[in-house]
Structure 1
Amino acid sequence: MTSSSDTDFTLKDESPSSSQSRQDLESNKQNEQDTQLYPADALSTPRQILFVGTLCTAMFTNQVGLGNTLTTVGIIGESFGITNSGQLSWLIAGYSLTIGTFILIGGRLGDEFGNKRLFVIGMAWYSLWSLVAGLSIYSSHVLFVFARVFQGMGPALTLPNGLAILGRSYSPGPKKNMSFVWFGGAAPLGAIAGFTFGGLFALVWWPWIYWSQAIALACVAAFAAWAIPPIPVDPNEKPRTKWERVERLDLAGGLTGVTALVLFNFAWNQAVVFPILPLSAFNSDIAFVFVCTATGWACFGIWVFYIGQIAVNIRGNTPIQMAAWFVPVIPVGLVSALAVGKLLGKVPASWIMVVGQVAYLTGSIIAATFQPNSTYWTFFFFSVLIITVGMDTSFPSATIIFSNAVPQQYQGMGASIVMTVVNYSISLGLGFAGTVETNINHGGVTKDDKLLGYRRALWLSVGLAGLGLVFSLIFVAKGHWKRGSKN
């Protein structure tokens, strides 16, 4: 027979155990929900490498599309009978213009209809128009420009949706930060691949630059369909019909915004961001990052085009030599990416942004004073070295700030904003620089006249980098003032 005291003792003894069991169940349930919401956290290391590597092909192939034309634009233009600098720059600017203009819509489409689906479609679309770009040899430069413009719609789908998949698959923390860093770090690798293979295929027949690209992109599209796991749906998000999703796209705003961006850029190359992201996602910090990213990447676009023009048209370098001259971006880019990945979370992203702006400014000054008769190991080498640091510090820090600023269901749009700024700024910067060049070079008849125009364009990049540095320092000071006022 059990006494009352024994019963009380038994109940009291079992109570903590029951409480612990309930806590364990709740903890396991929370971990299961986190795994479902952020599936990449639970993947094995080899599987994560495959997953992130597949998504990094978006940035890699985007830069291949820029690099394979930058150093061969003269050869391509010559086959079509084009020698005017303004027309030649359009062969490059049209590609970046399309990416920067349509990337917001690409991100929103992914958020509404599936980021993975739009990523694969983007790769397939990019492959198709790369094929057409090569076939334009049998037509005219009009078809080539048309194909380049439509090529840009491929990265306009893959870039924001690749970043959105990373943002939705990893919980906030070091893994998510590093995935964004590697995404940005793929840019210099892609640029070098573009320079190298563009130069090699140009030695045989330039259409193979784009036909080989089409084959590779088709393979990537097929592989991505298998390698990227299903993206989880936010359990708090209400199911919507396809018509409701279409209504949420704000097609009227998208149409007017795209038209404005295209016409403004076209005017500069041949001489706003619309309400697709909720206004509540914007604040003054994002506005500063917006300006810093825009000035930095506009500076980069001018730098990479005009330092190449000096080396090719004044110094006489071949496309293969140019690929070799840009090789330092690979080790420097990898080291910068690793460094930024380790620093993010320990050092404010605003300070990393300042480092990027200083690199853009310093590298641009070296390029603007580049002496064509100097050895590689002076101006050109150090300019490439320093500008690469600018690329691989400004992009990850901006991406992290934007990604953390928007809810999970808007990751595609948040990524779109960053990539819009990057690509549209490159295109618009080239338009500004082309205007400066053609109004300074006295028609570009002699090498001295050409060099004068190139230098003035590069000094414009110095001014843009300086403006970005000023804004980045104001951004840092603003952060210190806000923390001080709270204390």
Structure 2
Amino acid sequence: MTESRDCQSQHDDPEALTRQKSSQSSITPPKTLWKEIIFVVVVSMAQFMTQVGLCMSIAPIYRIAHSFNTSNLGELSWFAAAYSLTVGTFILVAGRFGDVYGHKLMFIIGFSWFGLWSLLAGFSVWSGQVFFDCCRAFQGIGPAILLPNALAILGRAYPPGLRKGMVFCFFGATAPNGFILGGVFSSLLAQKVWWPWAYWIMAIVCFLIAFLGIIVIPQEPRRKFTDDLSPWIRLDLLGAATGISALVLINFAWNQAALVGWPMPYTYILLIVGFVLLAFFGLVECTAKCPLLPRSIFTGDLAWVLGCIAAGWSSFGIIIYYFFQFMEVIKGDNPLLATTKWVAAGPSGAIAALVTAFLLGRTPPSVIMFCAMLAFTAGLTIFATLPVHQTFWAQAFVTSLITCWGMDMSFPSGTLILSNAMPREHQGLAGSLVSTTVNYSISLGLGFAGTVESNINDGGRDVLRGFRGALYIGIGLAGLGVVVSICFMFVSWRRYRKGSGRS
């Protein structure tokens, strides 16, 4: 009773800060079709530009490394890992800020922040690699702000139904195409002009989208609170501080271990401190008046879904990073050619999103999740066994076609499963939890793979062996996702049989 009284809003709902507003739409989408298309496209740029930002340091990685006079593979992995680390770490906190101060405002702030640190990342060419890694980390906070608030805007604009499902699948389908576009333009600029121009142009695009967001996204009613809670309590800043610190330290330890090794004391000390802070975060959330993770969201489906997504997307981070490593180091391709070899993932991912949209209302989401995990596993297995001198069309091309099905089937189905499993008042957390797990897992997977690679590549003398070892870890993670998804299908089937027996 006390918690409900402290956290009440104008609706007098307990823990109302995490209510989803999509079930009773409070944003009216444009009435005309062409305006609605512009609205959906602008909001979906959050997902599109997130993937652009990820590939910008993967495709031209050796051009960037050359300007910093470094070739250490452990240092190079930080170019992508630092970005994914902060994207995955700050999403839940950014979603809470959107609940309190408005999702449209946070959308505009997110793209402005994204643009600012993209600009500074380009200028880091005159500083050094450490500053570039820091810029990449701060750059990732922009997408962390954007993703939950973009999903909330679309969720509030569309009531449950086919139209909403199509919009969310389109949102997910922008991911592989954003990754490809980011790779093509960053590679082209790195080869023909200078790699910082990719970041400067991205900054201009981010500022432009922020301006379009002001014009295109409908104004939302400002939320009013009838209680006298301080921002510290309403935003759960203590929980945010402990949770972010824990996730950053755990992830940093794993990725840094690939560079300096586990015998270095500070790596495992930071890992231990991270887990201690994670436990403290759990205690804080149990006693917080407005927790970031309310206790009522911890249903049986939550662990199954997030377990599948964590395993699958950590393997995806590995294959996407080592695909470019293999093509550029082993095959000798330039960044643009390596990106071109991944282009098939764009249309294939779009088809996957359309198929998923069709299946979501006709097939149990747990089955779709199982198919997504199979796609991740198949893509990694095919690529990990790729002979060095084999033609591109035999296995590498098939890998680019298959892997994106894991992406575009797991994201919407995971969001739907959590949406169906969570209480109505906490529906808005579904998209945020999925996005957090996706991006954090990408960074963590790179840490696992980098640790294995650095320990079996014979001090850098057997690069191919190191790459294959990292890819085998990816197969193991994706295979774990398959096992978890099978268990989840069995649990869902038993639940369905019980429900049918009662009726």
User: What's the TM-score, normalizing by structure 1?
Assistant: 0.88
* Distance (Å, rounded) in 2 between the aligned partners of 1:348 and 1:66: 31
Contact 2:29 2:218 in 1 (8 A): no
2:204 is matched with which residue?
Answer: 215
1:253 is matched with which residue?
Answer: 239
2:255 is matched with which residue?
Answer: 269
Q: 2:67 aligned to 79, 91, 109, which one?
A: 79
Contact 1:130 1:147 in 2 (8 A): yes
Q: 1:158 aligned to 121, 127, 146, which one?
A: 146
Give the SS at the match of 1:342: helix
1:423 is matched with which residue?
Answer: 439
> Partner letter of residue 466 of structure 1?
G
Give the SS at the match of 1:215: helix
Q: 1:34 to 1:306 in 2, by over 3 A?
A: closer
**Number of paired residues?**
449
Contact 1:35 1:41 in 2 (8 A): no
After superposition, give the CA deviation of every residue in 1:24-43 in whole Å (9 maximum; x if it has no partner): xxxxxxxxx99973544673
> Partner letter of residue 318 of structure 2?
I
2:274 is matched with which residue?
Answer: none
* Distance (Å, rounded) in 2 between the aligned partners of 1:34 and 1:150: 30
2:218 is matched with which residue?
Answer: 229
Shift of 1:171: 0.9
1:111 aligns with 2:127: no
Contact 1:169 1:231 in 2 (8 A): no
Q: 1:114 to 1:324 in 2, by over 3 A?
A: same
1:330 is matched with which residue?
Answer: 346
Q: 1:312 aligned to 328, 334, 338, which one?
A: 328
1:400 is matched with which residue?
Answer: 416
After superposition, give the CA deviation of every residue in 1:302-337 in whole Å (9 maximum; x if it has no partner): 001112111110110111101211110111111111
> Partner letter of residue 250 of structure 1?
D
1:485 aligns with 2:474: no
Contact 2:27 2:153 in 1 (8 A): no
* Distance (Å, rounded) in 1 between the aligned partners of 2:496 and 2:166: 27
> Partner letter of residue 103 of structure 2?
N
* Distance (Å, rounded) in 2 between the aligned partners of 1:361 and 1:429: 14
Give the SS at the match of 2:56: helix
Structure with greater Cα Rg: 1
1:348 aligns with 2:364: yes
Shift of 1:409: 6.4
Shift of 1:60: 0.4
Contact 1:111 1:410 in 2 (8 A): no
Contact 1:106 1:416 in 2 (8 A): no
Q: Which stretch shows the higher mean deviation, 396-405 or 426-435?
A: 396-405
1:130 is matched with which residue?
Answer: 118
Contact 2:111 2:210 in 1 (8 A): yes
Q: 1:231 to 1:345 in 2, by over 3 A?
A: farther
Shift of 1:282: 2.0
Shift of 1:176: 1.5
2:429 is matched with which residue?
Answer: 413
* Distance (Å, rounded) in 2 between the aligned partners of 1:90 and 1:34: 37
* Distance (Å, rounded) in 1 between the aligned partners of 2:457 and 2:92: 37
Contact 1:184 1:392 in 2 (8 A): yes
Q: 1:242 to 1:358 in 2, by over 3 A?
A: farther
After superposition, give the CA deviation of every residue in 1:415-465 in whole Å (9 maximum; x if it has no partner): 2211110000000000000000000001112xxx10000001001110111
Contact 1:108 1:412 in 2 (8 A): no
* Distance (Å, rounded) in 2 between the aligned partners of 1:164 and 1:198: 30
1:94 is matched with which residue?
Answer: 82
Q: 1:433 to 1:341 in 2, by over 3 A?
A: same
* Distance (Å, rounded) in 2 between the aligned partners of 1:58 and 1:308: 24
1:18 is matched with which residue?
Answer: none
* Distance (Å, rounded) in 2 between the aligned partners of 1:245 and 1:206: 42
Q: 1:411 to 1:212 in 2, by over 3 A?
A: farther
* Distance (Å, rounded) in 1 between the aligned partners of 2:421 and 2:23: 22
2:294 is matched with which residue?
Answer: 278
Contact 2:24 2:159 in 1 (8 A): no
1:475 aligns with 2:461: no
1:453 is matched with which residue?
Answer: 466
2:17 is matched with which residue?
Answer: none
After superposition, give the CA deviation of every residue in 1:367-410 in whole Å (9 maximum; x if it has no partner): 11012211110111001111011111001111222334456765
Shift of 1:117: 0.5
* Distance (Å, rounded) in 1 between the aligned partners of 2:325 and 2:60: 11
* Distance (Å, rounded) in 2 between the aligned partners of 1:400 and 1:282: 16
Shift of 1:65: 0.4
Q: 1:48 to 1:245 in 2, by over 3 A?
A: farther
User: What's the TM-score, normalizing by structure 2?
Assistant: 0.86
Contact 1:126 1:155 in 2 (8 A): yes
> Partner letter of residue 367 of structure 2?
W
1:289 is matched with which residue?
Answer: 305
* Distance (Å, rounded) in 2 between the aligned partners of 1:401 and 1:456: 33
Shift of 1:231: 3.1
Q: 1:410 to 1:230 in 2, by over 3 A?
A: farther
* Distance (Å, rounded) in 2 between the aligned partners of 1:131 and 1:413: 31
Contact 1:99 1:420 in 2 (8 A): yes
Q: 1:151 to 1:42 in 2, by over 3 A?
A: closer
Contact 1:180 1:399 in 2 (8 A): no
Shift of 1:108: 1.0
Q: 1:372 to 1:443 in 2, by over 3 A?
A: same
